[in-house]
Amino acid sequence: MSASRGEFSSRFGFIMAAAGSAVGLGNIWGFPTQTASNGGAAFLVAYLILAFCLAYPALMAELVIGRHGQANAVSALRKVTNQAWQKKFAFLVGFGGIICAGLILSFYAIVAGWMLSATLEPIAQLTGQVQAQTWLSEQSLSRNIIFTAAFIILTIAIISKGVENGIEKWSKRLMPALLGILFMLIIYVMTQEGAVEGLKAYLVPDFSSILNPELLVNALGQAFFSLSLGTSVMIIYGSYISKKENLVSLGAYVTLIDVFIAFVAGLLIIPAMYVAQAQGVQIFSAEGTLLSEDTLVFQVLPALFTSMGYVGIFVGFAFFALMSIAALTSSISMLEAPVSYAVERFALKRLQATWLIGGLIALVSFTIVFNLGSLFGFVITLTTKIAQPLLGLMCCIFVGWIWHRSALLKEIQQGCPEAGNSFFWKVWPWYIKFVCPIAIALVFANSLLS
């Protein structure tokens, strides 16, 4: 490993950085919203199955490619190829992932901007700044532009500092705090009227809807989004893992933490929706469908915090502050994907590359802000429901079909000499070769045909 590339300094540091990438708005904004609009518990069951059976093996594929390549996504994918067409394919998948990461950041920064403004709102309230409070709490062009820009600048500031002092240092600080505050809020919500009904909607599945093609494709997209797959992010994070580490357990930790936090966020948000509805906030229409999907969390949670009285102001502040931080540990991974490519491919300085690419992404973000009604949903669908699963599938094809099995095994055995004999490694190469691509393709075909 060349010293200039950077490397995670410890196992804990990697887990926190990769889990930091995985845990973000997808867990606390995306997952509960998707669950609520896709039939509650049935979605949860589909999600859990797809996350462990398809997304985790696909995550392993990306981490292995990355650690083997010790380079940006395009070069790492190229390294396992030997024929000309394979090299072109590697470029397509690696570069496609990089573009996908940039596009995700462009809408992610908007939602994270909402989180930032929701963090400042309680401060405005406490200090009696009524005008500022109204401005912070309402959707407006000026608010969205300012906070989107602020969030992108924060992301740039961290990424320009590199792996160990930027990504790792920040990622490992605040995850425990986020969990603590989630649990505290769940306990409070459970004491409120309506919570039990919400809990039932979340935990008691109606199995008849589980094979609904729309539900399945949404759950797959959500699982890939949540584990940051198909965006070359996990390839690049994999490339910063030391050869001494055991990849299987690292990947398993990241998946478990990610799924656990999404599940816990559901325990908070879904019952909170029912509590808010019982308190007179309009969450569902008369037919029982969700009224405002994208901004759901921003209606439900503030209503909850208000119901807590004075304490709610502090809890609201702490919650949204931690959410902004969780969003930041994800957004830095999205920016790292194109930046590491630009630095290695065009020999740019990290600082220049970060500002250049961050600036470009900000322009795309502003375009979306100006056309929120038409572009926001479109970019989300394009990246998370289509591009991520398909690019993730391609990574499985690289590992299963293009890379030589013996070379793959050699890479895996670094840091885990007994790997060759373990059950996981005996099954996984076949699994990634046949089961993952076919299952992902089936979920797609199913939703296209329905």
Binding site for ligand PHE (CB under 6 A): 21-22, 24-27, 101, 104, 225-226, 228, 231, 233, 330, 333-334
User: Residue 143 carries which side chain, given as an amino acid letter?
Assistant: R
Beta-carbon count within 10 A of 186 CB: 17
DSSP state of 209: G
Closest among 355, 366, 364, 322 to 146, alpha carbons compared: 366
Q: Cβ 235 to ligand PHE, closest distance in Å?
A: 11
Assigned token pair, 18: 């990769």
- Do 363 and 144 form a contact (C-beta atoms < 8 A)? no
Q: Cβ 416 to ligand PHE, closest distance in Å?
A: 26
Q: Cβ 108 to ligand PHE, closest distance in Å?
A: 7
Q: Cβ 418 to ligand PHE, closest distance in Å?
A: 31
| Closer to ligand PHE by Cβ: residue 13 or 221 | 221
User: Residue 45 carries which side chain, given as an amino acid letter?
Assistant: V
Q: Closest residue (Cβ) to ligand PHE?
A: 26
Assigned token pair, 392: 């993730």
Assigned token pair, 135: 């401005």
Helices (H), 138-284: 141-159, 169-190, 195-203, 213-226, 233-239, 247-278
Torsion sign (Cα): 213, 217, 218, 220: positive
| Closer to ligand PHE by Cβ: residue 29 or 274 | 29
Assigned token pair, 297: 């969390």
Q: Cβ 280 to ligand PHE, closest distance in Å?
A: 31
Q: Cβ 226 to ligand PHE, closest distance in Å?
A: 4
Give the chain's radius of gyration (CA, Å): 21
Q: Cβ 307 to ligand PHE, closest distance in Å?
A: 27
DSSP state of 418: G
Helices (H), 127-168: 130-137, 141-159
| Closer to ligand PHE by Cβ: residue 219 or 408 | 219
| Closer to ligand PHE by Cβ: residue 192 or 384 | 384
Count of positions (residues) in the chain: 450
Q: Cβ 27 to ligand PHE, closest distance in Å?
A: 5
| Closer to ligand PHE by Cβ: residue 22 or 60 | 22
| Closer to ligand PHE by Cβ: residue 124 or 327 | 327
| Closer to ligand PHE by Cβ: residue 333 or 340 | 333
Cβ within 8 Å of residue 102, ≥6 positions away: 334, 337, 338, 357, 360, 361, 364
The number of C-alpha atoms within 13 Å of 356 and in the hemisphere containing its C-beta is 13
DSSP state of 125: H
SS3 for 158? helix
Q: Mutual orientation of helices 388-397 and 213-226 as an angle, nearest 10°?
A: 70
Q: Cβ 258 to ligand PHE, closest distance in Å?
A: 7
| Closer to ligand PHE by Cβ: residue 22 or 273 | 22
| Closer to ligand PHE by Cβ: residue 233 or 432 | 233
| Closer to ligand PHE by Cβ: residue 33 or 228 | 228
Q: Cβ 295 to ligand PHE, closest distance in Å?
A: 17
